[in-house]
């Protein structure tokens, strides 16, 4: 969608075409645009508040057809609620507006935003509109009804246009980075596979990101036997993609590193998954999607930080050449791994990519993201990601960043007692310890391939896809994690 800012006099409200959106203060008082809209509607807004048909304090929305003689197709009033206005609540208000607008015709919509006060809050509201109106309609030949979201022109009316435009640079970067992640997660596996994924990441070079694609010959040269084992049964070549944003004043300073699991489709391999629900395994590259969205965000807002993104891109298929349960492979670190279950493949990808990232870039901190285990969904459901960390300070920073962005997260335990569950009698380690503590043993496995520098593993299996629409995203790919990692970079790793 296209979003722009414009100064519009209140007495011109009757001349605006398309939908008009007017926020109403949480206490129900009318002033500015809301008062002008109430006059235009002959007091209908005031009556709705007085008769309790509209509760501004609860964030209600109410739509009116406009009187004859006006150009607008409808007026939508949106309660601002009684929560303290923060960047997050302003963004969520934008989400409510984006949802309430439904389908837009060619006239688009105009949102009067001065009730939010500062340009910064108006920028957050604008980003929320974009984030909630996201729709992946690429393969639809026809829309399904008047509630379909999608492209549409939205004008945000503000008295300080230049201030709003300047503030929107950062919030728009987050909206665009999140949309990039959602696009990647939503693509089918016949379109998004390791090579085509890598090609899309090369496009980040236009934003100043240095992108390097490592092919299978290079991965074999590096000794990435663990990652390569996952893709043996696929006709698609495996890749590792390295993305560098060197925005700090000191380009040589130790970076923050984000690592992502990018299994573009996961059948489970020889340990094949049940057929029911397997179509959702196009999302098993969600961790790589979040890392990619982060890199687009930091580049678009020109973050004053050195940020490295590394993603391992593979496809896990059953084939005569596929890895078998019981096979033993050697990881880049030199550790040997007995593969008990080929459906525990994400950790095999991350083992090599984590080791590579830490060896090559000596980061200040490393975070990997992966749709790694169903066990984390059993533990936390779909409202929180689970994370594991070897560093309390980094753990606190992640928790604080997620809280600020209102993305649910919960720290889970690491411990040497979990090591006993992944001991192998034939190799250094086995890739699964069975059903007990499944998320913890997966994290414990990954910890074997990281050094003592601050590291965290975030299991996003439960939050990558949503069965229902939420405040800032429709049903489907959520983009969870881009906002949290962007906040972490901003608060902890910029100059």
Q: The whole model's pTM is what?
A: 0.96
Question: What is the C-alpha R_g of the chain?
Answer: 24
* Catalytic annotation present for 273: yes
* Catalytic annotation present for 347: yes
Quick one: fold of 2-163?
3.40.220
Task: Kindly name the residue from 182, 236, 301, 347 that is annotated as catalytic.
Answer: 347
The candidate with the shortest Cα–Cα distance to 245, out of 291, 170, 303, 181, is 303
Instruction: Give the start-to-end residue ranges of the domains of the chain.
Output: 2-163, 174-493
The CATH code for residues 174-493 is 3.40.630.10
Using alpha carbons only, what angle is made at residue 366 by residues 265 and 175, rounded to the nearest 5 degrees?
Answer: 65
Task: Kindly name the residue from 103, 273, 302, 335 that is annotated as catalytic.
Answer: 273
Query: CA of 360: how far to CAs of 242, 299, 304, 370, 448, in Å?
Result: 11, 21, 21, 21, 17
For each of the chain's 495 residues, which pLDDT tens digit applies? 899 999 999 988 989 999 999 999 999 999 999 999 999 999 999 999 999 999 999 999 999 998 888 899 999 999 999 999 999 999 999 999 999 998 888 889 999 999 999 999 999 999 999 999 999 999 988 765 544 555 589 999 999 999 999 999 999 999 999 999 999 999 999 999 999 999 999 999 999 999 999 999 999 999 999 999 999 999 999 999 999 999 999 999 999 999 999 999 999 999 999 999 999 999 999 999 999 999 999 999 999 999 999 999 999 999 999 999 999 999 999 999 999 999 999 999 999 999 999 999 999 999 999 999 999 999 999 999 999 999 999 999 999 999 999 999 999 999 999 999 999 999 999 999 999 999 999 999 999 999 999 999 999 999 999 999 999 999 999 999 999 999 999 999 998
- Indicate the Cα dihedral angle 260, 309, 483, 131, nearest 10°: -90
Which residues on adjacent β-strands are paired with residue 43? none
């Amino acid at each position: 969608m296209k979003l722009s800012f414009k100064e519009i006099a209140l007495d011109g409200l009757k001349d605006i075409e398309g939908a008009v959106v007017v926020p109403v203060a949480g206490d129900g008082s009318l002033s500015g645009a809301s008062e002008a809209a109430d006059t235009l509607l002959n007091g209908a807004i005031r009556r709705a508040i007085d008769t309790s048909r509209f509760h501004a304090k609860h964030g209600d929305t109410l739509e009116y057809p406009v009187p004859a003689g006006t150009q607008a197709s409808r007026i939508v009033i949106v309660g601002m609620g009684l929560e303290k206005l923060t960047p997050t609540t302003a963004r969520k208000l934008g989400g409510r507006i984006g949802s309430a607008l439904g389908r837009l015709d060619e006239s688009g919509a105009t949102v009067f935003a001065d009730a939010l006060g500062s340009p910064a809050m108006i920028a957050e509201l604008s980003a929320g509109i974009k984030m909630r109106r996201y729709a992946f309609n690429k393969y639809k030949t026809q829309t399904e009804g008047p509630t379909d979201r999608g492209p549409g022109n939205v004008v945000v009316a503000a008295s300080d246009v230049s201030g709003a435009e300047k503030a929107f640079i950062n919030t728009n970067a987050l909206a665009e980075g999140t949309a990039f992640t959602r696009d990647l997660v939503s693509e089918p596996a016949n379109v998004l596979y390791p090579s085509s994924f890598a090609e899309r990441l090369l496009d980040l070079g236009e934003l100043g990101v240095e992108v390097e694609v490592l092919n299978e010959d290079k991965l074999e040269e590096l000794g990435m036997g663990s990652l390569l084992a996952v893709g043996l049964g696929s006709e698609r070549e495996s890749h590792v993609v390295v993305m560098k944003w060197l925005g700090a004043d000191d380009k040589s300073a130790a970076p923050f590193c984000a690592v992502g699991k990018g299994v573009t489709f996961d059948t489970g391999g020889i340990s094949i998954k049940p057929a029911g629900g397997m179509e959702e395994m196009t999302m098993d590259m969600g961790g790589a999607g979040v890392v990619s969205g982060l890199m687009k965000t930091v580049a678009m807002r020109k973050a004053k930080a050195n940020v490295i993104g590394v993603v391992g891109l593979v496809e896990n298929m059953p084939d005569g050449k596929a890895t078998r349960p019981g096979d033993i492979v050697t990881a880049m670190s030199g550790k040997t791994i007995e593969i008990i279950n080929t459906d525990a493949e994400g950790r095999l990808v991350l083992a090599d990519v984590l080791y590579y990232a830490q060896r090559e870039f000596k980061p200040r901190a490393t975070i990997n993201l992966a749709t790694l285990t169903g066990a984390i969904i059993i533990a936390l459901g779909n409202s929180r990601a689970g994370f594991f960390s070897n560093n309390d300070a980094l753990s606190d920073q992640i928790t604080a960043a997620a809280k600020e962005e209102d993305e649910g997260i919960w720290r889970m335990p690491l411990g040497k007692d979990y090591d006993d569950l992944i001991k192998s009698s034939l190799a250094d380690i086995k890739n699964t310890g069975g059903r007990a503590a499944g998320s913890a043993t997966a994290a414990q496995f990954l910890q074997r391939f990281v050094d003592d520098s601050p590291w965290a593993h975030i299991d996003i299996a439960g939050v990558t896809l949503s069965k229902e629409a939420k405040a800032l995203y429709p049903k489907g790919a959520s983009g969870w994690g881009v906002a949290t990692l962007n906040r972490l970079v901003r608060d902890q790793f910029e100059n």
